[in-house]
């Protein structure tokens, strides 16, 4: 007797009604899964209320230990005290300031990404390193201005004053090394402009690019540099410990915090240039958020907000930073003026040699993208193989193509949707879809998505305090 159920179990003789019921069942499962994902992911996030409701990221474009880093960390502590939310400083160095300023400008315009803007933002586009300008930010507050100084090791007896250094440069140009920031940064420009003003070429001192004054001062003390160009507050500790000496400061009058350091004007050099620092948020940030940040910073400046009983003004005086405070409107007009002045300077023929070299900041991401494309191409064109000389395994070329396109599609979907939809929902759908595409079962894929993605969000957003997109629903 023939066994009918065998054929039935193989799925070859199922009735249309049964097939329709199974199709409908799959649809209900997927619909239910989508609802569960939405409910679980929404429960994992806090609702969005009055600003601020989550940690704020303060981007510092320069290295740990420099003046910009120290000022960033101090103002972050005061903002955290005043606003009642964590304010985390992250040092995004590289590209002569392009990396950090780009991260800040490209952040979400929601007030949770703040950038410690420096004078380089008014210089980089003139040097062709980026299209980024200060207009890509909403200026909030200018905090300080500091002129450049020239520093040497304290025990170095080659130069007792600035005139000795000038005599050395005239007799043997190009033999000494200096640093303080990246090539073409403000401290390099201050030194190069002074050299040009006294009739020496900008290459009379060989500039060694570094990520800030902190690393440069360390290199000076180890004997790797002859001169450092930076502000006096950045070298306050080394000056106090008599590790370095200041030959002069590029200012019209002496600093109250460093009264023993002569000015270039006293010595007979009519040249002054320095740096400024201020806080900005991405362009398009709502005006009410900008105003709230400015009001918070004004409370900090007035001494209403204190940390460990100390005011921000006390910190600035103790560290030797020159407090120079401007609100949003005055800050913007000052940036416009400084941008024009530095543009006139950097476009002069004498400064055409201030170049970052053969590679520009965006060259390296392009190189990495090229290697990624090569890797995906290798995956796609791999030849099929046979298993046990019996059944040919599915061609890797088609599977590789699907693999490559799905990854690219997932990244593109995240870039396009995350800011609007939010990290959790966007990432959950992408992870769930990719797991299904790679042959995993529905409930396995759902379980991984529901557990993994909210866990990643909690790790970064709450434990590591790295803001992630919450979307229009505040997820």
Q: What is the pLDDT of residues 78-107, one digit of tens each?
A: 999 999 999 999 998 887 888 899 999 999
What is the tens place of the pLDDT at every residue in 388-414? 554 554 445 566 667 777 878 888 888
Average pLDDT (266-275) is: 88
**39: pLDDT confidence band, cut at 50, 70 and 90?**
very low
Residue 325 pLDDT level (bands cut at 50, 70, 90): very high
Give the pLDDT of residue 314: 92
- Select the more confidently predicted residue: 458 or 291: 291
What is the average per-residue pLDDT within 381-388? 54
Strands (E), 182-243: 205-207, 227-231
**Mean pLDDT of the 353-369 span:** 59
**CB-count exposure of residue 239 (10 Å: 0-12, 13-18, 19+):** buried
Residues 6+ apart with CB under 8 A from 71: 116, 143, 144, 277, 321
| Res. 474 pLDDT band, cuts 50 70 90 | low
pLDDT of residue 332 exceeding 60, the answer is: yes
What is the C-alpha to C-alpha distance for residues 140 and 115, in angstroms, rounded to an integer?
A: 10
Q: Collapse the DSSP code of 283 into the 3-class scheme (helix H, G, I; strand E, B; otherwise coil) and give the result.
A: coil
More confident residue, 239 or 410: 239
Which two tokens mark 295? 């009001």
Position 2 pLDDT exceeds 70: no
CA distance 101 to 121: 7
**Residue 21, pLDDT above cutoff 80:** no
Q: What is the pLDDT of residue 420?
A: 77
Alpha-carbon span 429 to 439, nearest angstrom? 16
Question: Residue 91 — φ and ψ, nearest 5°?
Answer: -90, 105
Find the helix or strand (DSSP H, E) in which 149 lies. Answer: strand 137-153
Between 310 and 417, the more confident residue is: 310
pLDDT digits (tens, 9 = 90+) for 142-193: 999 889 999 999 999 899 999 999 999 999 998 999 999 888 788 998 999 8
pLDDT for residue 440 is more than 90: no
The CA distance from 29 to 33, in Å, is: 6
Segment 211-231 mean pLDDT? 94
| Residue 33 to residue 21: CA distance in whole angstroms | 18
Mean pLDDT confidence for 195-206: 89
**Chain-wide mean pLDDT for the chain?**
82
Q: What is this structure's pTM?
A: 0.64
> Residue 473: its pLDDT value, please?
57
Q: What is the DSSP letter of 307?
A: B
For residues 290 and 110, what is the distance between their CA atoms, to the nearest angstrom?
10
Kindly indicate the confidence band of residue 319, based on its pLDDT and cuts at 50, 70 and 90.
confident
Q: Which of 40-44, 58-62, 391-395, 437-441 has the highest mean pLDDT?
A: 58-62
- Do β-strands 56-60 and 113-118 pair in parallel, antiparallel, or remain unpaired? parallel
């Amino acid at each position: 007797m023939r066994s009918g159920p065998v054929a039935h179990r193989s799925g070859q003789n199922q009735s249309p009604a049964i097939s329709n019921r199974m199709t409908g069942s799959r649809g209900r499962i997927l619909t239910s899964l989508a609802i569960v994902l939405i409910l679980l992911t929404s429960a994992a996030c806090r609702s969005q209320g009055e600003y601020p409701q989550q940690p704020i990221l303060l981007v510092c474009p320069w290295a740990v230990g420099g003046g910009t880093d120290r000022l960033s960390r101090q103002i972050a502590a005061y903002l955290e005290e005043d606003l009642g939310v964590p304010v985390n400083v992250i040092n995004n160095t590289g590209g002569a300031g392009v990396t950090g300023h780009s991260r800040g400008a490209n952040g979400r315009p929601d007030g949770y990404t703040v950038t410690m803007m420096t004078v380089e933002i008014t210089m980089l586009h003139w040097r062709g390193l980026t299209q980024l300008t200060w207009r890509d930010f909403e200026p909030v507050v200018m905090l300080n201005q500091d002129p450049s100084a020239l520093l040497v090791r304290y025990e170095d007896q080659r130069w007792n004053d600035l005139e000795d250094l000038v005599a050395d440069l005239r007799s043997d140009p190009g033999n000494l090394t200096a640093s303080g920031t990246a090539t073409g940064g403000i401290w390099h420009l201050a030194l190069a402009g002074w050299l040009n003003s006294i009739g020496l070429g900008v290459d009379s001192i060989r500039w060694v690019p570094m990520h800030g004054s902190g690393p440069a001062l360390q290199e000076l003390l180890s004997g790797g540099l002859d001169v450092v160009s930076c502000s006096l507050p950045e070298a306050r500790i080394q000056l106090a410990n008599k590790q370095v000496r200041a030959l002069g400061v590029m200012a019209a009058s002496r600093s109250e915090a460093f009264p023993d350091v002569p000015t270039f004007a006293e010595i007979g050099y009519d040249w002054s240039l320095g740096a400024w620092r201020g806080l900005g948020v991405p362009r398009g940030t709502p005006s009410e958020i900008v105003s709230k940040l400015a009001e918070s910073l004004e409370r900090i400046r007035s001494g209403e907000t204190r940390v460990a009983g100390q005011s921000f003004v006390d910190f600035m005086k103790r560290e030797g930073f020159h407090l120079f405070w401007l609100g949003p409107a005055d800050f913007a007009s000052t940036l416009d003026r400084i941008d024009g002045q530095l543009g006139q300077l950097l476009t002069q023929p004498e400064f055409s040699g201030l170049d970052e070299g053969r590679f520009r900041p965006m060259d390296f991401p392009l190189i990495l993208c090229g290697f990624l494309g090569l890797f995906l191409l290798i995956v796609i064109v791999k030849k099929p193989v046979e298993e046990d000389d019996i059944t040919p395994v599915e061609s890797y070329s088609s599977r590789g193509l699907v693999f490559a396109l799905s990854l690219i599609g997932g990244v593109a979907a995240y870039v396009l949707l995350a800011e609007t939809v939010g990290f959790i929902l966007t990432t959950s759908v992408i992870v769930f879809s990719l797991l299904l595409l790679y042959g995993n079962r529905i409930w396995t894929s759902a379980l991984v998505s529901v557990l993994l993605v909210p866990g990643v969000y909690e790790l970064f957003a709450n434990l590591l305090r790295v803001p992630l997109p919450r979307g229009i629903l505040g997820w």
